């Protein structure tokens, strides 16, 4: 028997130490199926942490359990030719539990088994059981699943395809979820029937990157995903998923969802065709598209997005959509509401939705609010364009009710149509705040842009700042805005209401009934009505209506028959306003109770500081109603009525004194101007030939002297580009060259500009 040379003690210790430093991967074994092990489970049973199991093409009819091992299960040739089929087993096809370091599954089609079975109530077995995770079930696990297909799950609990239970953290990359379902019909389960493809528990995390969800369904909520925990979705596609209750694609309850660059198309649910955010369910969705999602059946709400009680625990929580596109989502059924968005409330609080930098186009609702419905919830749109919305009844684009709040910031609502009230918005007992926005080309039976009404103690509050209403049409009750109800208040500052029309009755611009309107720094121009006594600019149609107008310009409004620009039977208080060139009998109807002061009224009215003189607009024919330098409106207003004003309609400073105009108004100088625009004293005319002072330092001194000529000649002789004042045409446009033309041009200008600059 041969003798082996013994290793010196020192060398043996070094070798042992080196072995201890080897990584787990370096020590990992590769196990092959079926060449080494006949089944995948047999290979798993033989594996230890960090081992890799490679599976040859084929279909493997088995249900496998990782048994707490942190291993990699990989197909040799991909999901197209390698299938784990658990359809004949009363278990989840793949179970991964307690893999706390990390396990992975790569390149398989996984056909679901019956799922993992749990009693409905551990203390009462007679209630039966329900199943979870037809293809995949995890608990207390870090797992990655990639380049795979999860399909044909059918569970009775939640998670038809995959169920991620307690403290699971699963990364799905390039995974297809196809035709999975969960249906709790006939069971005694509670809060089940959720997540047709995947259900994520409240303590779990799921990340979906480049995944697709197609044809998944849930009998309750979340046709594709039930998000109870933290879910991240990136570059993924959701198509034709359906939930019988809520969230055709995704249902978020107490969860937090982040979505980037994904598409949601043709998903369906009664409440939230694509997304449903429930109590404490919040999320951020960026750069994503929602198209063709629907809410069929009775009571359909929010064809794309539905939110309720999102801020139950956190008052600042919301569902945020940034740079998203909403196209042709349809709130159908017998009383569909909210074609794109639906924000409502419960005893747990309001649903809060904010949409930023997005487009909302071509939506419809069989009943109300084709683009959005706000009932007790809060919806904010910022820097967003809403176009081509159609509602069969009220609120062509948006419907606000039951204390709902709708904030519109730097947005446009265009070409929306209501079969009844409010071409763009119908407000009934709620609040709408509009800032820096445009309403154009909307139409309705009443209130071409907005119809706002209150009832009893439920007020309607409409607040408008620096916004425009242009080209809207109604048959009656305000071509642009109709406002009614004893608890309704309209506050508008720096508003333009222009080129709107009432084709049959009432005002071409604004109609108010039994309500209060406070309008300041605003322009009401070129509106039309076909109603005798309709008030082409403003109709106060009841004795209890009140309009307070301060620093408004009302001009060029027309009626097919003679009327007054401001008509009706209520009260109007007019201060610092211009009412001019409106056709009709008079500017303000004698049937109104009127208080007028410091205004320019065509035809005249009694009151302090009231003038009947041409206001001298800059260019009325071109629609420029700013004040010319000779306007009698300059420094002629009442400062006390304008207390707190800082900006005029153009955004320029108020209370600018014109030194060339005598103060004829009231208050401490500077005196405010009459009308929507403040005359801005011009800056000194440019003085191009003042290029230096006596020190010849190139710093203009406000005088054109011999020093300027000498300084220019020195620049010209040096060929300095600063001496380039013109081209060969002597037109004052530099041509990039210093020539004799520049010298002649400067000399001529210098000779004609001697002395102080103007």
Can you count the helices (H) and strands (E) in the chain? 5, 77
**pLDDT recorded at residue 123:** 86
Q: 111-115, 538-542, 752-756 — which one is most confidently predicted on average? A: 111-115
In the chain, where the domains are located: 24-243, 488-682, 703-756
Structural tokens at position 532: 């005798």
What pLDDT, on a 0 to 100 scale, did the predictor assign at position 27? 72
527, 480 contact by CB (below 8 A): yes
Across the range 538-542, mean pLDDT stands at 91
Residue 450 has pLDDT above 70, yes or no: yes
How far apart are the C-alpha atoms of 103 and 403, rounded to whole Å?
A: 50
Least confident of 56-65, 536-545, 679-688: 679-688
Query: What pLDDT is attached to residue 318?
Result: 96
Which pLDDT does position 699 carry in this prediction?
82
The pLDDT of residue 600 is above 60: yes
12, pLDDT greater than 80: no
5 pLDDT above the threshold of 80? no
For 279-325, how does the pLDDT look when each residue is reduced to its tens digit (9 = 90+)? Answer: 999 999 999 999 999 999 888 899 999 999 998 888 899 999 999 99
Task: Give the model confidence (pLDDT) of 360-408 as tens digits.
Answer: 999 999 999 999 999 999 999 999 999 999 999 999 999 999 999 999 9
Mean pLDDT of 137-163: 98
Contact 566, 589 (CB under 8 A): yes
What per-residue confidence (pLDDT) applies to 683? Answer: 56
- The pLDDT value given to residue 48: 98
pLDDT reading at 2 higher than 50: no
Per-residue pLDDT band at 412 (split at 50, 70, 90): very high
Mean model confidence pLDDT for the chain: 93
Per-residue pLDDT, 24: 52
Which pLDDT score, from 0 to 100, does residue 311 have?
85
Residue 216 has pLDDT above 80, yes or no: yes
The pLDDT assigned to 423 comes to 98
Q: How far is CA 290 from CA 262, 326, 339, 385, 388, in A?
A: 9, 5, 11, 15, 16
Q: Residue 172 to residues 85, 143, 231, 404, 543: CA-CA distances in angstroms?
A: 19, 9, 11, 39, 67
* pLDDT at site 456: 78
- Scanning 21-124, the segments in alpha helix (DSSP H) are 24-27, 40-46
């Amino acid at each position: 028997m041969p003798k082996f040379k013994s290793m010196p003690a020192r060398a043996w210790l070094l070798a042992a130490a080196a072995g201890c430093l080897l990584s787990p991967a370096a020590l990992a074994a590769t196990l092959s199926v079926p060449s080494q092990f006949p089944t995948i489970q047999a290979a798993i049973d033989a594996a230890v942490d960090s081992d890799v199991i490679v599976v040859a093409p084929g279909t493997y009819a088995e249900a496998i359990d990782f048994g707490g091992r942190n291993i990699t299960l990989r197909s040799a040739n991909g999901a197209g030719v390698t299938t784990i089929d658990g359809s004949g087993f009363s278990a989840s096809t793949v179970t991964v539990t307690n893999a706390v370091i990390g396990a992975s599954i790569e390149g398989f089609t996984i056909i679901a088994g019956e799922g993992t079975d749990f009693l409905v109530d551990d203390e009462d077995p007679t209630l039966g059981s329900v199943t979870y995770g037809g293809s995949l079930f995890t608990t207390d696990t870090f797992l990655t699943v990639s380049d795979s297909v999860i399909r044909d799950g059918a569970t009775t609990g939640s998670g038809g395809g995959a169920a991620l239970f307690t403290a699971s953290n699963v990364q799905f990359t390039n995974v297809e979820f196809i035709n999975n379902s969960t249906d709790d019909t006939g069971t005694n389960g509670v809060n089940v029937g959720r997540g047709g493809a995947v259900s994520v528990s409240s303590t779990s995390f799921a990340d979906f990157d480049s995944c697709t969800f197609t044809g998944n369904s849930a009998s309750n909520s979340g046709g594709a995903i039930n998000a109870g925990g933290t879910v991240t979705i990136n570059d993924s596609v959701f198509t034709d998923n359906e939930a019988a209750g809520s969230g055709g694609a995704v249902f978020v309850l107490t969860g937090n969802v982040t979505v980037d660059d994904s598409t949601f198309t043709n998903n369906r649910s009664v409440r939230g065709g694509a997304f449903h955010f429930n109590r404490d369910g919040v999320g951020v969705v960026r750069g994503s598209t929602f198209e063709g999602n629907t809410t069929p059946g009775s009571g359909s709400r929010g064809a794309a997005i539905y939110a309720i009680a999102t801020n139950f625990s956190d008052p600042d929580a919301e569902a945020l959509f940034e740079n998203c596109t909403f196209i042709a989502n349809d709130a159908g059924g017998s009383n569909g509401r909210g074609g794109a968005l639906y924000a409502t409330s419960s005893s747990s609080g309001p649903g809060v939705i904010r949409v930023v930098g997005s487009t909302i186009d071509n939506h419809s609702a069989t009943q109300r609010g084709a683009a959005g419905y706000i009932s007790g919830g809060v919806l904010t749109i910022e820097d967003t364009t809403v176009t081509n919305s159609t509602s069969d009844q009220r609120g062509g684009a948006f419907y606000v009710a039951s204390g709902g709040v709708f904030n519109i910031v730097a947005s446009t609502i265009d070409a929306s149509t209501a079969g009844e009230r409010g071409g763009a918005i119908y407000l009934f007992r709620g609040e709408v705040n509009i800032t820096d926005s445009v309403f154009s080309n909307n139409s309705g039976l009443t209130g071409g842009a907005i119809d706002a009404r209150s009832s009893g103690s439920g007020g309607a509050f409409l607040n408008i700042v620096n916004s425009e209403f242009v080209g809207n049409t109604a048959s009656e009750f305000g071509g642009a805005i109709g406002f009614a109800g004893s608890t309704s208040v309209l506050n508008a500052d720096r508003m333009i209401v222009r080129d709107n029309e009432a084709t049959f009755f009432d005002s071409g611009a604004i109609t108010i009934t039994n309500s209060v309107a406070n309008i300041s720094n605003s322009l009401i121009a070129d509106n039309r009505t076909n109603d005798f006594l309709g008030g082409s600019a403003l109709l106060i149609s009841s004795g209890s209506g009140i309009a307070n107008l301060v620093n408004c310009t009302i001009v060029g409004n027309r009626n097919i028959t003679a009327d007054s620009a401001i008509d009706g039977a209520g009260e109007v208080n007019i201060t610092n306003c211009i009412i001019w060139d409106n056709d009709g009998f008079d500017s303000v109807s004698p049937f109104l109770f009127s208080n007028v002061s410091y205004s320019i009224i065509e035809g005249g009215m009694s009151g302090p500081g009231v003038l009947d003189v041409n206001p001298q607009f800059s260019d009325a024919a071109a629609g420029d109603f700013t004040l010319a330098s000779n306007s009698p409106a300059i420094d002629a207003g009442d400062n006390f009525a304008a207390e707190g004003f800082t900006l005029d309609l153009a955004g320029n400073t108020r209370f600018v004194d014109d030194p060339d105009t005598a103060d004829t108004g009231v208050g401490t100088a500077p005196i405010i101007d009459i009308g929507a625009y403040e005359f801005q004293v011009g800056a000194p005319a440019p003085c191009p030939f003042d290029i230096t002072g006596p020190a010849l330092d190139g710093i203009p001194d406000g005088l054109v002297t011999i020093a300027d000529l000498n300084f220019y000649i020195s620049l010209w002789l040096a060929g300095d580009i600063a001496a380039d004042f013109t081209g060969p045409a002597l037109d004052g446009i530099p041509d990039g060259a210093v020539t004799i033309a520049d010298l002649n041009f400067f000399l001529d200008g210098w000779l004609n500009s001697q002395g102080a600059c103007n």
